[in-house]
Structure 1
């Protein structure tokens, strides 16, 4: 591979080497990993070696602009998570977005990338694909304006074939404007997802041009229908053969079809092909079996003109009032969580591994479904849901024409809604994980005739693009005046059905009696109302699931999960929402353990203690307390100064009875069942030692948990989620940092400052703790522990070798950990 100081020289052989040595390929793109120099399609990851400037620059798009002093970086990139210039924190108490975006700062930023394409590639087609830019992206190539894309969450692409200067240096410039108040949560700023450059022959398969459905599925046979859009940008008519082969997970060919076609110059065709897969392996959360459709265009000389691989799954989905949601004919309750797009300490930067880890942690916590709130996610996130087995509601918008903030999407809706719906549905419709499309969340005009008309327009367009899935929307203010709005949808999403502002505890039953054909689900629920929300799902077959707000915590909407907003008049320095079952570091919070009990998930018994003093300041007016909270409880038995004083202990238990012991002495047995909401409570005079809960099914011991008083911490322990990562310049290792005592117990109150060092082919790209009020830098190599732990995230380079992480703190034994970065094959 030839490298220049200001760019990458792409020869035909160079394309191959760039893919193998210089790119992080998505797991599903097996063809791209094996590409050879004469391959007809090259999918180049265009993430490396961009120049960036935070702030506006006059003439930032001009070819002759001197950008040598701009920062050199790789994508994905989010500048809002970075320290503000001249400070050691990303937060500003006077940030325009305020509490909604967690006091992070947007503004304007510029990106520039230089590259050279040799003259011998003249005549090929070049598309540049941006998976996501927040927001208002303006694109130039060689000083010529290419286009604008306002919405920060949809993917978009441009054919730049006519703008490239072959054999000379090209410059792509991107101006990003995250201005004013435009979001109700942390959005991030910048080119925060991947950028791709595709190189094809003039006759090719269109971007998002493959559409796969499975209209008939049975044990002996599955019918697979494949629609392919073929584009001929050449000046001559061509006779070609379209070949589609279906490959199973073992790499075996299971079906093949060939179709001959004549395609005129400067035209396109959509071709339908039908295949049969015998003894199909069905996709489900329990068995996420995937297939790959390999589609080729072959000319009359048997030359392959284009080749595209599309991952899909074979499964059936059905919704009925009588049986609820059926996946492959089996009734399935949606154990769901809402999730924003952000990746916690990384901001919005959409590294593939970051999304994959969030899906892993959600599934490990008992979730089988995710509602993407309130926008389409990254492609890699959906790939992970397909691969790991998580059901998805893919959502388009948080508002339409009526604003929630002055500079939000309402400014662009009329001009852009159709393009953005197309981007979501055409890009994502082959993912087996997706079971519903959502057109919006808490739309302000949902109760008005104009809103009903708009909802009908959106729903019909979604159905035109993909008639195989149903359309939903998440609605609050659940009163009969919303009936016309719900009538435009297939499935009714109820935000806060239990404990919501409608004032009815049994709204599902009431609405079922009014409208017996309506299928419903709780599209958002309060953590504190987890019991009631889930009992609705258990009791009513027409209520297909519950999606807690939220499954994963996020930045912005700061402090909504605490006991009422602070009463001093300022929310600062709160910056986490603090309402997730899993916090921004990926650590489970108390409500997640309670949900384990409700769902019969992994851990069936858990012990928590109510602190004698509130964990944070509270609003004395309880009527203003947040419903997104959970009880102020912690998994700790370290209460110096409270010896012999009573502490409230609660045990979450999925079994018939539970017995609590303090230092071996029984404090009594209590029943746990639906009547007790599977919670047992004691008042326990504090004594250091061991607090243990033993659960019984009948007279037989079924499970147990304990809290043990920790001694003062004396050492640091490092543990990585993965000891081996790919040397692709983008893979991540998440390292948990625990402060332990001499018995290797984490001290739950330790807040020592930890400093980090790194050696080898890697870098520290984020540090974090679960402290929702910390104003510390996410990028400097140090962090104060919170509850005895913190997190450090390491990114690979494109070189293989051992990455050594060291952690130290005054008075503690230091720690050292080795991560192996392996060459990408």
Structure 2
């Protein structure tokens, strides 16, 4: 009897344990499928899912793009076509009665999915998620998924053109989702089917409202939908529930009664407090069939045309950046952890606003914004222009719905946007009537997207971002349609002066005093390898970028009607069609493409981070060089300290240079650098607490006289036709700007700075991609018509390298196609024939060189020679013109140890 009772008790215990274990298993299972995919390109577009096995396959891991590297080579264009992915599925037998789907977080841009050779679904659009249901599965290990992804140009899919790269591939996570036959679902837009929004939020009370849809593919059932609201500690606040009768194979909408919250803790960037709403679908036996957990941020906000943005009843300036999703060496196939790191960098900078541009991005980005307190705007990729077809309009509206539905539950989002600079690439410019119709169609699409957005989500604001053609957008009626207008302004870059920015903002506000505005883009190219002590627009120097951003920050903070501002961009990003000093990269970022901070990042950190901050602005300039102005063995150069303190004391090689006040978050110092290592220390005190930053700068001092015995000559690298330094960190080389020859020293004799004619863009050089080098700035400037180059080096043996590139030719652009002030001008001048000889110390070393005919336009050419100096005449390089004018872009002289 005892044995029998013991057995019963053991059975009851084990059965109870099994039920408890079953009850804590997730009711919706998501299985990561990123591993063990095979990939092949299909450039001929001839294969189908039934015969694609003859393609050349390789093993890949998702996220994956086929454009990670071809976008960075010197060949124009990148692969835009079809890529195939395939994978075997391992399915559990117990899933046979479940709803099984593939969930793709993003694939660019047309995707077709096959199961065992049969098409089962497709999706249009490269930046939103989609779900593909799986039916007729075999469950015996032979099921194979094939995915065809196509990033070819399609006139019916936005974006049509843009200043970023349209990477192809399955570049975000993919997973297998297993659900019960009765579950929450939005079967059109790949959301979870449950939506939470807040209502009547104040400092004393708030309401949380939950609605959504469920679907029943099993049998009619009596169900309960219950939402429980808990605080950040897990403590229950309140709940709402409703009973519902679910009929078979029908999508059933529901809305729960408002959940009241007394004395809410309000969400803000300073305190991103998150409640949690847990919504369960329960059958009549009490079994939980589905469960969705969503973050809830209780906040209220508004925009006013005169006073800007208000959060939780207080005036609040939105300050942050826009963001692209690609990363160095990865393209857009970036792991979620690196995406989150971007938001951490933005937060550490003191930012409170992210413009997710120009397309919806990884959910991990917005999850991080929710947690860290970053307010966000999200937009669909209608950029530059539209196509006037019903298919284009339909796809845009579907993208807008997918964006809203998939991102609805992020409390960080306050703005939905839908067009960016849509008048930039104007069509039909030679046909006024047709052009007017085109603009009218843009406005019609904008109004339809506006109406759709406000109907789908009336709790947030809407926005369009426009380039600087204020009159054009006003005349088109586009500034009246959205609730907010964003302006992409680049005074001091694409046109005008930086000082024009503030007055231009005033003018815009005067023209539309009833419309809240944001500055959704502003920035200047900063190549961290380039430095200038007399910075000018388009020299790409770090120093010009600092001056530019100082002016913009001051103007933005001064004007309360500017609700917010987003720097273009958080980081550098790939734009395959760009040339410039870093071909294929837009380097307006505050961070490099691999997320290394530039000095401009630290400037924002000093302005907007609340904690005390001090930083020696060495950035990438820990390797410096300079020319002595006399026979002294030091070179005096500017050094900046970036700080949000009042006063900074600077120490150089152990000696104090005194204290200086900080103006616009920067203190400027004239530092006498010695040859070799220089130890720098910046010190400041905040409320009696000492703060300091340390740096070691290696300085390559170039004496005025090359035969200075205290600094023996080793080598010199010289660029011609510019007044900027270039640092090649890989080779540890410093390239100094040329100078006019001085007796006993070195320099050019004769020659004019190369400048593209009829260009309002830059005062010297070109932005043309120089093929065959990663150090484009060395070749993008030159002296034209120089007579000779003289270096008064001491006796010895030397290696001399001459660097050439022909910079003129048909179709060389004097400005970028993405000129936001519409000052586009293209030089199509055919250059004169340029034929010349070069003599090195009276010896003919280059005869009848014709750069354009022999090497083509914008190709790097190096000519290396050795010579001996046995007298006091040094090195003389003579240029003898045969036809046209001789040129030289750069030269290097190195002493050969004997």
* SS state at 1:431 partner: coil
**Cα distance between partner residues in 1 of 2:689 and 2:116:** 72
Gaps of 5+ in 2: 1-20, 154-159, 427-435, 525-544, 701-726, 733-772, 777-898
- Shift in Å, 1:669: 5.5
**Match status 1:130 vs 2:109:** no
Change beyond 3 A, Cα 1:543–1:91: closer
- Shift in Å, 1:64: 7.5
2:521 to 524, 543, 548: 524
**Cα distance between partner residues in 2 of 1:593 and 1:122:** 56
- Shift in Å, 1:116: 4.5
**Cα distance between partner residues in 2 of 1:494 and 1:531:** 19
Change beyond 3 A, Cα 1:92–1:322: closer
**Cα distance between partner residues in 1 of 2:171 and 2:391:** 21
**Match status 1:153 vs 2:104:** no
**Match status 1:374 vs 2:358:** yes
Partner of 1:438: 417
2:330 to 327, 346, 352: 346
1:277-676 map, 5 Å = 277-399=261-383, 402=386, 413-444=392-423, 448-483=439-474, 484-496=477-489, 498-499=491-492, 504-505=500-501, 506-527=503-524, 528=545, 529-556=548-575, 565=580, 574-600=583-609, 604-608=613-617, 634-636=620-622, 638-639=624-625, 643-658=633-648, 660-665=650-655, 667=657, 670-673=660-663
Change beyond 3 A, Cα 1:511–1:69: closer
CA deviations over 1:572-620 (Å, ceiling 9, x no partner): xx343222111122221111122223335556444447xxxxxxxxxxx
**Cα distance between partner residues in 2 of 1:665 and 1:339:** 42
1:708 to 685, 690, 696: 696
CA deviations over 1:347-399 (Å, ceiling 9, x no partner): 21232211111111221122222111100001112112212222211111143
- Shift in Å, 1:501: 6.1
1:179 to 139, 152, 160: 152
**Match status 1:70 vs 2:67:** no
Change beyond 3 A, Cα 1:600–1:507: same
Change beyond 3 A, Cα 1:704–1:410: farther
Change beyond 3 A, Cα 1:238–1:67: farther
Gaps of 5+ in 1: 1-33, 85-89, 98-104, 404-408, 610-632, 713-747, 754-771, 776-825
Partner of 2:429: none
* SS state at 1:485 partner: coil
- Shift in Å, 1:340: 0.4
Partner of 2:142: 169
CA contact (8 A) 2:205 2:264 kept: yes
CA contact (8 A) 2:39 2:86 kept: yes
Change beyond 3 A, Cα 1:92–1:711: closer
Partner of 2:238: 255
CA contact (8 A) 1:531 1:598 kept: no
CA deviations over 1:671-711 (Å, ceiling 9, x no partner): 5435xx7453536464553344455899x897554543459
1:53 to 26, 31, 40: 40
Q: Which has the larger radius of gyration?
A: 2
Partner of 1:245: 228
Higher relative contact order (CA 8 A, sep 6+): 1
1:188-227 map, 5 Å = 188-207=167-186, 208=191, 209-227=193-211
**Cα distance between partner residues in 1 of 2:61 and 2:128:** 21
CA contact (8 A) 2:220 2:245 kept: yes
* SS state at 2:585 partner: coil
* SS state at 1:79 partner: coil
* SS state at 2:320 partner: strand
- Shift in Å, 1:190: 1.0
**Cα distance between partner residues in 2 of 1:36 and 1:78:** 40
CA deviations over 1:257-299 (Å, ceiling 9, x no partner): 2201123333222211121234433222222222222211122
**Cα distance between partner residues in 2 of 1:557 and 1:530:** 26
Change beyond 3 A, Cα 1:685–1:661: same
* SS state at 1:645 partner: strand
CA deviations over 1:209-254 (Å, ceiling 9, x no partner): 11111112234432100012122334x4332111111232222222
Change beyond 3 A, Cα 1:76–1:600: closer
* SS state at 1:486 partner: coil
- Shift in Å, 1:37: 9.3
CA contact (8 A) 2:95 2:178 kept: no
- Shift in Å, 1:453: 1.8
**Cα distance between partner residues in 2 of 1:63 and 1:37:** 42
**Cα distance between partner residues in 1 of 2:396 and 2:128:** 11
* SS state at 1:422 partner: helix
Partner of 1:3: none
CA contact (8 A) 2:183 2:215 kept: yes
CA contact (8 A) 1:533 1:546 kept: no
- Shift in Å, 1:462: 1.1
CA contact (8 A) 1:497 1:533 kept: no
* SS state at 1:172 partner: strand
CA contact (8 A) 1:287 1:389 kept: yes
**Cα distance between partner residues in 1 of 2:343 and 2:642:** 25
CA contact (8 A) 2:107 2:169 kept: yes
**Match status 1:690 vs 2:679:** yes
**Cα distance between partner residues in 2 of 1:361 and 1:248:** 27
- Shift in Å, 1:752: 7.4
**Cα distance between partner residues in 2 of 1:321 and 1:313:** 25
* SS state at 2:514 partner: coil
* SS state at 1:415 partner: helix
* SS state at 1:297 partner: strand
- Shift in Å, 1:472: 0.8
**Cα distance between partner residues in 1 of 2:83 and 2:586:** 26
CA contact (8 A) 1:187 1:342 kept: no
**Cα distance between partner residues in 2 of 1:435 and 1:166:** 44
* SS state at 2:178 partner: strand
Change beyond 3 A, Cα 1:585–1:62: closer
CA contact (8 A) 1:81 1:346 kept: yes
Change beyond 3 A, Cα 1:119–1:551: closer
* SS state at 1:416 partner: helix
**Cα distance between partner residues in 2 of 1:37 and 1:701:** 51
**Cα distance between partner residues in 1 of 2:262 and 2:384:** 45
Q: TM-score normalised to the size of structure 2?
A: 0.64
CA contact (8 A) 2:41 2:82 kept: yes
Partner of 1:29: none
CA contact (8 A) 1:194 1:350 kept: no
